[in-house]
Chain A
Amino acid sequence: MSDFILRLDDVHTDIGQYHILHGITLDVPEGGVYVLLGRNGAGKTTTLRTIMGLWRARAGAIVFRHHDITALHTSDIARLGIAYVPENMGVFGRLTVEENMRLASTTGRFNDDRLGRVFALFPAMEKFWTKPAWSLSGGQKQMLAISRAIIERREMILIDEPTKGLAPAIIRAMIDAFREIAQETTILLVEQNFLFASSLGAGVSVIDDGRIAHSGEMSALAGDKALQTRLLSLSLDAHQ
Chain B
Amino acid sequence: MNASTLFARVGGVNALPVLLMIIALPLIGSYSSWVTLTVAGLAMGMMIFLMASGLSLVFGLMDVLNFGHSAFISFGAFIAASMLALMPGFVGSSSVALNFLALFTAIGVASLFGLVAGWFFERVIVKPVYRDHLRQILITIGALIVAEQIILATWGGNPVAVPRPAMLEGSFIIGDISIEIYRVFAFGLGLAVFIVLYLVLNRTRIGLLIRAGVEDREMVEALGFKIDRLFVGVFMVGSALAAMGGAMWAGYQGLISGALGGELMILVFIVVIIGGLGSIEGSLLGALLVGLLGNYVAFLFPKLSLASNMLLMMAILLWRPWGLRPALKL
Contact = CB atoms under 8 A, between A and B. Distances in A.
Given A92-B216, A94-B327, A102 B222 contact: no
B216 A74 contact: no
B218 A75 contact: no
B211 interface: yes
A78 B223 contact: yes
- The size bracket of the interface on A is 20 to 34
B222 A73 contact: no
Contacts of B208: 95, 99, 102-103
Interface of B: 205, 208-209, 211-212, 215-216, 218-227, 327-328
Contacts of B212: 92, 95, 99, 103
B104 to A, nearest CB: 34
7 contacts: A75-B222, A90-B218, A90-B222, A92-B216, A94-B215, A106-B224, A148-B223
A52 interface: yes
Contact of B226 (A75, A93, A103, A108): A75
Contacts of A92: 211-212, 215-216, 219
A71 interface: no
A117 to B, nearest CB: 20
Interface string A66-80: 000000011100110
A86 B223 contact: no
A104 interface: yes
Interface of A: 52, 54, 73-75, 78-79, 83-84, 86, 90, 92-95, 99, 102-104, 106, 108, 148
Contacts of B227: 75
A86 B220 contact: no
Given A90-B218, A103-B208, A104-B223, 9 more contacts: A74-B218, A75-B221, A75-B222, A75-B225, A75-B226, A78-B224, A90-B222, A92-B211, A95-B215
A95 to B, nearest CB: 6
Nearest to A79: B224
Contact of B224 (A54, A75, A99): A75
In the A-B complex, the 8 residue pairs with the closest CB atoms: A90-B219, A78-B224, A74-B221, A84-B222, A92-B212, A79-B224, A75-B226, A92-B215
Given A99-B208, A103-B209, A93 B215 contact: yes
A82 B152 CA distance: 53
